[in-house]
Chains A and B, each alone.
Chain A
Amino acid sequence: MRKLYMLLISLFVLFLLAACDEGDDASSGGDNASSDGEIVLDLWHFDPGARMEVYQEAVDRFEEKHENVKVNVLQIPNDDYKQRVVVAMSGGNPPDVFASWGGGWLEEFVDSNKIKDLTNEDIDYDRFIDVAVKNSTFDDKVYGLPLGIATYSFYYNKEIFAEHNLEVPETYDEFLNVVDVLKENDVYPLALANQPKWPGAFYLMYFADRLGGEDVFQSAYRRTGGGFDDDAYVQAGEYIQDLVERDAFNPGFNGIPYDSGQGRQLMYTGEAAMMLMTSGFVNNVREEFPEFEEKMGVFGFPVIEEGNGDPSNISAGVSPVWSIYEETDQSELAVELIDELTSVETAQGYVDKSSTPVAVKGVELKDEYVSIFTEWINKANSIQFPYDQTLPPELGELHKNTTFDLFGLEVTPEEAAESMEAEAKKIFGE
């Protein structure tokens, strides 16, 4: 009898293991054909609202051209998105086409041979802004097509500025003067919701760029002589802590999440006068508090006179970047789909609805903000993409953590720079 139990149990265990193994095999690769011969493509992205509509319109156009093809669009919120894609790529059922931010995150998938090389596909690369395509080019091969470029700049409240006879600061000294005057008049000079860490990281990026120029990051990242312990980084940390010590920010900024909107509320209510944010802020204003738009103005990051950076340099993030899963059964269709998702027509919709410039040339600019942002991009001597999206994920994460701690006055600029460089050495193997 006991033998029978053992037999039963081992049979079930065997069955189970077999089932697990089978699961692993069956789930890789897209099972694109559904029962009635219709071809199905899965598309994942992370943008809600107006941008989601723009992608849907592009998908509709694509489906019209291909009668027998259906595209399943799945929008997954930002925080969840990265995890879902990693899990899908590692064993689940990855989407045929998906959005990312290019940079180090995408490169991680490229290194694991999960992303299709688009270099020699039938795509008109001339329509893209070069620097944006570089963001998804690794070893001279293109792995993603960019659509939007969100520029990072200061938004300010014109009413408050007029009330205190302040002018838009062009140099950093003028900027500090604005901060001091606002402070004296009990207005928070700068609104900051730094819990997700990227809003604060914008300051570090801009300071390092204005102080040392774009080469500081490039030579640290490409390991061509520079490092993340460069003087410019130490100084950038000092500038950040100087602002914190001046009480330039709203109190408790390191504990305020960005998405829940408390940071933006400070701007809307006039409690804070300026905010360094992505171009997506314009859309937030229009959706959340349209009355604010008439008071709102924008200006680029001020020039630091003793720094070496080109004042036309801007920081911006490319998003979305459309890529294709390497082992998709429908690679031709997928290429056509991402071609449509980055077509001039799609880009036009994106510009009109999202207040964000595009990486595609030949669109008509109707929105005043997009016109300003696009001019900055066109004039820029160099565009700095956010570190956390460019660097290998581990280093990007450390960059956000050390910058967060700089804002919290929990580390010194030297310590932050040194721990970045130590990790960089470990990752790049030097």
Chain B
Amino acid sequence: MNDIQSWLEKRRFHHSQFRDLKNLMELKEKMGTTISLCFPTLNEESTIGKSIIICKAELMDRYPLIDEIAVIDSGSTDRTCEIAQEFGAATYSAAEHLPEEGFYKGKGENLWKALYLLKGDIIVYIDADIRNIHHRFAYGLIGPLLTHSDIKFVKAFYKRPVVSAKGLHASGGGRVTEILVRPLFSQFFPDLAALIQPLSGEYAGYRSIFEQIPFPIGYGVETGMLIDIFQKWGLDIIAQTDLDQRVHRNQSIISLGKMSFGILQTFWNRLKKYKGIEGIDPESFALRQIITHGLNPPEMSEIKIEEMERKPIIEVENYVKKMQELKK
């Protein structure tokens, strides 16, 4: 517990510690590092424009801290890609790249393919649905990586008010975290229970870390990534940054049920891999949920959610080739 306490103190930052962007820029230049920012998207037309504009204006035009901004899209049917291109982001359809590896639809797939498509030594992943986007979401995550040579992966945490028809409301935030993930971590990976928001969709890390771990393609990507990094390199390379507040749309219990179903599959896989626990393969990948409509009798819905995983991208031949070419 003492170790965890000391980790919490040593590895917890606030974005304001890194607001001197000139200093970060100088550090980056000295290190000879390049930084890429990735927005994974699927139908995010109402927020993607603002996200790109703010990050580009502040972190590329005003202070050239970031070398490229890219949108990796899972097949949006709205104007997400058009808007992203208009404001200067490189826009990629995940399905069109590394075709020999096939295509799965999911955020994890976009993050994994981003490793192939982007050039940076540091990759910053930011969800594209943040309503109160600010460039602190990027520099708050980049800061610890540039200022502490032993930190290789940084997770975001924040307050999470939710938006409803009546406006903004305070929220405990992270129902899946508190009901599912933290209790599971407490039982099987107790050190990881110290992560304030293990499911936050904003994180940054060195390519050298990301390329060596598998990527669940769906809901389990954050959980799997955390456990794998922890198991391979330990807690000390992980840090977390307070980004103050992130406004998001509240999700229904039904949606959170789907998310939990995916996370559990990733979790069982990690238990098998790292704890040698056998016999926990799911009997079914069909999530059954009870839906009620007003006074009508409850109905059972069934949806298939199978959490596929991508192997570490370092094992993909075309990736290795491309990286070698980039180094030349």
Are the chains A and B members of one assembly? no
Question: Chain A residues in contact with chain B, CB under 8 A?
Answer: none
Q: Which residues of B line the A interface, CB within 8 A?
A: none
